[in-house]
Amino acid sequence: MSIHLAFFVIKQEILNIKSLALVTSLTLFFITLSIIIINISSFTSFIFNDYPLITKIHVLSLIFIGSFSAVSMLDIVLVSIMGILFGVNMTLLISKFSALKRRGNLRIMFGTGIISVFAAGCASCGLSFASLIGISAALAILPFGGAELYFIAIGILLISIYYNLKQIVKVCNISID
């Protein structure tokens, strides 16, 4: 697939109001979920406590907002990039499923679409889930303190986006003369 064709498909599938709104929503969902997963013990301790509801909301919002000051600017930028790539990837996946559904071929590509979902999910949430199971200390011995995993995740998301672009070209019979 040529770079010109890839940009044409991105322009067609992503650069419209509906898709941009979906990408933005999915990006915010991703970033929010990442912060919640990293602070899961704090969130659950306040949610299941006997504090009044307004106090819970206030404390949880302070934990959420304070999370941005507890991480480096590099982490914020890389998680934001991963969130945007996740949003683009999922939007392309939804677009591909819609095209297949219109053509009646949804069963044919269902398995490969599920692989795309897992590639996006695994890459985007890998670091957050790693902190849940205690791998964070092991990441500290890596030369860049675990930032390598962000770049691996971004690479996986870019490969998944390329794969989805290629599938959309194939499913929709797109060609540029």
Task: Kindly report, residue by residue over 10-23, the tens digit of the pLDDT.
Answer: 777 788 888 899 99
Burial 40-79 (b: 16+ CB within 10 A, else e): eebbeebeeeeeeeeebeebbeebeeebeeeeeeebeebb
For the chain, domain boundaries = 3-33+72-172
> How high is the pLDDT of residue 55?
85
User: What whole-number percentage of the chain has pLDDT above 90?
Assistant: 5
pLDDT at 112 over 60: no
Full-model pTM:
0.71
> How high is the pLDDT of residue 122?
41
- The per-residue pLDDT of the chain, averaged, comes to 74
Task: Kindly report, residue by residue over 1-10, the tens digit of the pLDDT.
Answer: 677 777 777 7
